[in-house]
Amino acid sequence: MNLLVVFLQAGGGDYSFLIMMVAIFAIMYFFMIRPQNKKQKEIANFRKNLEVGQEVITAGGIYGKIKGIEDNTVVLEIASGIKIKIDRNSIFANAASNQQ
């Protein structure tokens, strides 16, 4: 009801309000929503293609090398002889190893 009142007060037949709302949504989609979805797909693809021996970083900031991969968990070696088991969803690419 309120949207109808605002539209009628703006001039009734004047479609500038409607055009403005469509333009704002289009700008938000192309500058905010679309890039975020693209980045999420890249991260999901990276996690899907993890390999043993790959250097990664966890969401908590721990650097390590993958020693084993199970369905939803990954075994990381964070120091010589020290291994931890973490969830696959908390792994990100190590930017330093990707640049070399």
Say which DSSP state 90 is in.
G
24 alpha-carbon distance from chain centroid: 23
Query: For residue 60, which of 26, 99, 90, 97 has the smallest C-alpha distance?
Result: 90
pTM: 0.67
Task: For residue 34, give the amino acid letter.
Answer: R
For 38-59, how does the pLDDT look when each residue is reduced to its tens digit (9 = 90+)? 999 999 999 999 999 999 999 9
For 15-43, how does the pLDDT look when each residue is reduced to its tens digit (9 = 90+)? 777 888 899 999 999 999 999 999 999 99
For 77-100, how does the pLDDT look when each residue is reduced to its tens digit (9 = 90+)? 999 999 999 999 999 887 666 555
